[in-house]
């Protein structure tokens, strides 16, 4: 099978997830009152599904730029570990390597680490095509959703549940990998405390409290100095 056909086949599951989720994001983002093209532009520049959905809620709540920046940084910090584990695969030079690093998402990482380029083909081109196709699926979804939201008036109540569903899936996947209840209990308690004590800065407070407790636990166990 030619390389292009194999890449398209490999990325089809991502397409079926990215385009509908991108449409949901575009519609929700359009409800904030911005011009439709800002949604696909955000998909091009930010390209982080969870962070973009989170940004919709934060912008709607008039959150400050620092809170949005800090929350996005912490939410996507896991990508640093993804990057370290694919260094031996991303051997391209120049803009190609920078683009593949920039577009490394959970789904792209999954494909890069679980599929193999056709025998005798250029592996860097294979990984670049996966990155570019996945990126385009997301941007297309964002654009479709924003155009629909700008031209059709309908009740989008409940559509923001896509964010809750997305985080639930991420939590379940993390639970499968970690298989330890303590971090999740800490996150729950920290979230409840932050809602009661610092409702205006709940997200940053909850993340900060969770980190402090987890760092203290690691020091007690001797895992860090």
pLDDT band at 1 (very low <50, low <70, confident <90, very high): low
Give the pair of three-digit tokens for residue 222. 């001797």
State yes or no: pLDDT of 12 exceeds 90: no
**pLDDT tens digits along 87-135:** 788 888 899 999 999 999 888 888 888 788 877 778 889 999 999 999 9
Checking if the pLDDT of 225 tops 60, the result is no
66/36: higher pLDDT: 36
Higher pLDDT pick, 44 / 67: 44
Helix pair angle (182-197, 202-221), 10° resolution = 140
pLDDT confidence tier of residue 205, bands split at 50, 70 and 90: confident
Please provide the average confidence, as pLDDT, over all residues in the chain: 82
Over 80: is that where the pLDDT of 35 sits? yes
pTM above 0.75, yes or no: no
pLDDT over threshold 70, residue 5: yes
Angle at 196 between CA 203 and CA 168, to 5 degrees: 45
* 171 contacts 54 by C-beta, under 8 angstroms: no
Average pLDDT of 162-174?
65
pLDDT band at 223 (very low <50, low <70, confident <90, very high): low
Q: Which residues, at least 6 apart from 183, have a Cβ–Cβ distance to it below 8 Å?
A: 210, 214
Predicted local distance difference test score (pLDDT) of residue 170: 59
Mean of pLDDT values over 163-178: 66
Q: Annotate 196-211 with b (16+ C-beta within 10 A) or e (fewer).
A: eeeeeebbbbbbbbbe
Q: Which DSSP symbol is given to 152? A: -
Give 160's pLDDT tier (boundaries 50, 70, 90). low
| CB proximity list for 211: less than 8 A, separation 6 or greater | none
Cβ neighbours of residue 67 closer than 8 Å, sequence gap 6 or more: 58, 201, 203, 204
Residue spans of the domains in the chain: they are 3-158
């Amino acid at each position: 099978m030619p390389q292009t056909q194999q890449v398209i086949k490999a990325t089809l599951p991502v397409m079926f997830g990215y385009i509908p989720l991108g449409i949901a994001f575009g519609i929700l983002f359009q409800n904030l009152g911005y011009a439709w093209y800002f949604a696909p532009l955000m998909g091009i520049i930010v390209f982080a599904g969870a962070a973009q959905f989170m940004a919709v809620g934060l912008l709607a709540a008039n959150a400050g730029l620092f809170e949005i920046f800090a929350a996005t940084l912490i939410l996507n910090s896991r990508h640093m570990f993804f990057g370290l584990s694919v260094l031996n695969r991303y051997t391209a030079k120049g803009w190609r390597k920078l683009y593949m690093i920039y577009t490394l998402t959970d789904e792209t990482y999954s494909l890069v680490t679980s599929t193999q380029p056709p025998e005798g083909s250029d592996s860097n081109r294979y990984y670049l095509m996966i990155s570019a196709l996945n990126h385009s699926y997301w941007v297309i979804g964002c654009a479709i959703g924003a155009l629909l939201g700008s031209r059709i008036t309908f009740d989008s109540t409940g559509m923001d549940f896509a964010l809750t569903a997305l985080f639930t899936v991420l939590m379940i996947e993390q639970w499968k990998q970690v298989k330890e209840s303590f971090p999740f209990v800490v996150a729950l308690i920290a979230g409840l405390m932050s809602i009661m004590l610092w409702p205006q800065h709940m997200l940053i407070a909850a993340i900060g409290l969770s980190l402090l407790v987890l760092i203290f636990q690691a020091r007690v166990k001797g895992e860090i100095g």
